[in-house]
Amino acid sequence: MIELIDTYWLYFLVGQYPHGPLGGLALTLILAVLGLLFAFPLGLVFGIARVSPWRSVRWPVSTLIQVVRGTPLLMVVFWAYFFLPSLTGQNTNQFWTMLTALVVFDAAYLAEIIRAGIQGIGKGQTESARSLGFSYLDAMRLVILPQVVRNMLPSLVNQFVATIKETSLGYIIGLTEVSFIATQTNTQVLTKPAEVYLLLGLTYFILCFGLSRFAFWLERHLQQRTMAKAHA
Amino acid sequence: MTPLFDLDLLLTGTYHDWLVAGLITSLSLTGISLALALPLAIIIALIRLSPVKVLQWSGFAFVEAIRNVPLLAHMLFWYFGAPELLPTALREWLYARNIEATSAIIALTLYTAAYMSEDVRSGIRSIPGQQFEAARALGFSFVASMRLVVLPQALRVTIPPLISQTLNLWKDTSIATVIGVAELMYQAAKVESATFRSFEALAVASACYLGMSLLITGAAGWYQGRFPVRTA
């Protein structure tokens, strides 16, 4: 096991970089960060649309979200893989294919988190803002959303963990993220498959467990602050 | 000139049979994994709630170790890694049979059980502690109070989240493609490469996933309407 780590740690972390494209754990993290970063504004728009007072906004977005949530991510990846090139008119590489699929998929899930957050704030807030003369969109932007985003920070961290796990599906379209690199390593070593994949699992575990503990801490911390405020 | 969208090819004949076989495999994977995961989830939840510290801790470790690693890495481990750890005779016996499906079922069962055990646990915790204490005071053992008093009430609260985990399980079966299980996703890709009709193949597979997902979501809605949670 030690020998394995000693020989392949750099390959595992960055792939063939700097002699080739960046890969490995670094690529996994970049993909997850960009995925969540791009999905967030989209999820925000979808989430607001989900609770919109206008039916013509609410229904199409709700349908889209239901469709994405009822489909496996792998299916979304395949759609992106086969149809992005004809849609954009140029050859899309694996990175952009995977990123597009992740953004669409995560946006649908974030939208539900945001919707629940908005509905959890309570009607009174919107009504007071509206009676003070704010337009609907201003009330959303200045009164409701700041509270929603603060409350949803722990969920966002959890969604980041989910996104890290989702990037592993890049393996299927030949994206050189960490699961793919592990399989390459396994093919080269040949005699230690259990060790290689245990190391892969351990890598994900350290990353994701650390983050989900952080989310847990954040949730308790925010709760205590809210409670302290209520008592003050 | 072939038509732009031609479903006829997939509604009868060989390709149709491939897709149907894939659908049946996906449904079997879901059914078998669910049947194995449910009792396992209840056992893990009880272990985590037991009065013994060591048991609590090992239940926690099991759940976190599984939840923080992507399902794809689980599948790779159980397919490529784990068989190497077995004695040669047993390994050969396994390889002569359907090792792909076996690995997929092990991975899916453990993964689903880890998530479901959390739902069962919070269901049990939602039952007031006095119920358990009253049962103990009447002379029931720990196991009997759980089985006859707490669990029947807890399961009612737990069924809706368990149904939504089943939905996740259904979608997760698609990842078994990676280790070569001939489920729906795999068959769709096979039809795609045999016919070059990417759009139709993916559309049919998506419709199957979506249709089943809607059925599962519908079941959750029906259950909540039929058996609303009673509050004491």
Domains annotated on chain B, with CATH: 14-226 (1.10.3720.10)
Determine the structural domain holding residue A179 and report its residue range: 2-231
pLDDT in tens, A1-50: 888 888 888 898 998 888 888 999 999 999 999 999 999 999 999 999 99
3-state SS, chain A, equals CHHHHHHHHHHHHHECCCCCCECHHHHHHHHHHHHHHHHHHHHHHHHHHHCCCCHHHHHHHHHHHHHHHCCCHHHHHHHHHHHHHHHHCCCCCHHHHHHHHHHHHHHHHHHHHHHHHHHHHCHHHHHHHHHCCCCHHHHHHHHHHHHHHHHHHHHHHHHHHHHHHHHHHHHHHCCCEHHHHHHHHHHHHCCCHHHHHHHHHHHHHHHHHHHHHHHHHHHHHHHHHHHHHHHC
| CATH number of the domain within which A178 lies | 1.10.3720.10
**pTM, to two decimals:** 0.92
CA gap A7, A165 in Å, rounded: 25
Q: How many domains does chain A have?
A: 1
Give the per-residue pLDDT at A20.
84
Task: Give me the pLDDT at residue B231, please.
Answer: 60
A75-127 residue pLDDT tens: 999 999 988 988 888 888 899 999 999 999 999 999 999 999 999 888 899 99
A63 touches chain B (CB under 8 A): no
> Which chain B residue has its CA at the smallest distance from A197's CA?
B77
For a pLDDT cut of 70, what percent of chain A falls above it? 100
Q: What is residue B4's predicted lDDT score, i.e. its pLDDT?
A: 65
Chain A residues whose beta carbon lies within 8 Å of the beta carbon of residue B189? 78
pLDDT value of residue A90? 82
**β-bridge partners, A24:** A177
Which residue among B67, B85, B217 places its CB closest to the CB of A194?
A: B85
A172-216 tens-digit pLDDT? 999 999 999 999 999 999 889 999 999 999 999 999 999 999 999
Point out which residues pair with A22 in neighbouring strands. Answer: A15
Provide, as residue numbers in chain A, all residues whose Cβ is less than 8 Å from the Cβ of B178.
Answer: 171-172
* ipTM entry: 0.91
- CA of B203: which chain A residue's CA is closest? A79
Å between B43 CA and nearest CA of chain A: 23
Residue A75 with chain B: CB contacts under 8 Å? 174, 185, 202, 205-206, 209
- Kindly report, residue by residue over A214-226, the tens digit of the pLDDT: 999 999 998 888 8
Contact status of B159 with chain A (Cβ, < 8 Å): no
- Report CA B75 to chain centroid distance, whole Å: 13
The three-class DSSP label of residue B228 is coil
Q: How confident is the model at residue A228 (pLDDT cuts 50, 70, 90)?
A: confident
Per-residue pLDDT of chain B (232 residues; tens, 9 = 90+): 456 677 777 787 899 999 999 999 999 999 999 999 999 999 999 999 998 999 999 999 999 999 999 999 999 999 999 998 988 888 888 888 889 999 999 999 999 999 999 999 999 999 999 999 999 999 999 889 999 999 888 888 899 999 999 999 999 999 999 999 999 999 999 999 998 888 899 999 999 999 999 999 999 989 988 888 766 5
Residue B2: per-residue pLDDT: 55
Q: Is B87 on the interface with A (CB under 8 A)?
A: no
What is the rounded distance in angstroms from the CA atom of residue B162 to the CA atom of residue B184?
Answer: 23
Give the pLDDT band of residue A230 (cuts 50, 70, 90). Answer: confident
B70–A contact, CB cutoff 8 A:
yes
- Mean pLDDT, rounded, for A141-168: 93
- Angle at which helices A145-167 and A193-231 pack, to 10 degrees? 170
pLDDT tens track for A128-149: 999 999 999 999 999 999 999 8
Q: How confident is the model at residue B1, as a pLDDT?
A: 43
Q: What is the pLDDT of residue A223?
A: 86
